[in-house]
Structure 1
Amino acid sequence: MRVFLDENMPRPLRHALAGHEVSYVEKEGWKGKENGELLALVEGRFDVILTSDGNIAYQQTLAGRALSMIVVPTNNLTHLRANGVAILQTLDEIAALDHRVIVTLDWRGRRSLRRLDATGATAVELGPVRPFRG
């Protein structure tokens, strides 16, 4: 999958996402773009955006976007590397879908998924992954 690291994500995380094409704002020349503009740039060029901005789903209109999103509970590189398996598993599950989603992971390893192609879609629980640990 083509994965884009949001500006709030540490760049070395790309090394923990083996098997995926990973890019980030500096590499694309998009540093400093606001969320709405950044999403428009990312959409169509990437399959998934990885972010720790838990508010993005409330600040931006995501319905109808041709982009999936994974929201993780931290942007701490040590925690993210230690939990790379959970992120990779989630990426693999998203790749198998025929629609766009937002998946939110929490510190306990719980994951919720909401479709972005259905107005008013409710979140469903995915199987848990190993809990995020520091």
Structure 2
Amino acid sequence: MLILFDQGTPVPLRRSLSNHLVATAYELLITTDTNLRYQQNLTGRKIAILVLTTTSWPRIRQVTAEIQSAVAVIKGGDYQELIVP
């Protein structure tokens, strides 16, 4: 899967998703913008969106297995929030 990180997503997360390609043509957006669904019209899009509820790399690092699982099953057009404690 081709993955796009937004500016708030910690770059070290890329190493945890080594089975996927982070490149320039995208199937999945990983973002930390929890207001995205309120700011954008998300209907009819093909890109999947995975929202992480924090920008803190130490906290995200603790849930990389959950992120990997979410990435493995997310489909085009899906919207999913992953709560990061």
Could you report, residue by residue, the CA deviation over 1:16-52 in whole angstroms, capped at 9, with x for unpaired residues?
11201014xxxx6xxxxxxxxxxxxxxxx21100011
Q: Show structure 1 runs of 4+ deviating over 4 A.
A: none
- Matched residues, number: 85
State whether structure 2 residue 58 is matched by structure 1 residue 78.
yes
Task: Give structure 2 stretches of 5+ with no counterpart.
Answer: none
1:71 offset after TM fit, Å?
0.5
State whether structure 2 residue 13 is matched by structure 1 residue 10.
no
- TM-score, normalised to structure 2's length? 0.89
Q: Cα RMSD over matched residues?
A: 1.4
Q: Which has the larger radius of gyration?
A: 1
- TM-score, normalised to structure 1's length? 0.59
Taking CA–CA contacts closer than 8 Å with sequence separation of 6 or more, which of the two structures ends up with the larger relative contact order? Answer: 2
State whether structure 2 residue 59 is matched by structure 1 residue 59.
no
CA distance in 1, matches of 2:13, 2:83: 18
1:79 offset after TM fit, Å?
1.3
SS at 1:4 equivalent: strand
1:88 offset after TM fit, Å?
0.6
Task: Give structure 1 stretches of 5+ with no counterpart.
Answer: 29-44, 108-131
CA distance in 2, matches of 1:74, 1:17: 18
CA distance in 1, matches of 2:70, 2:39: 23
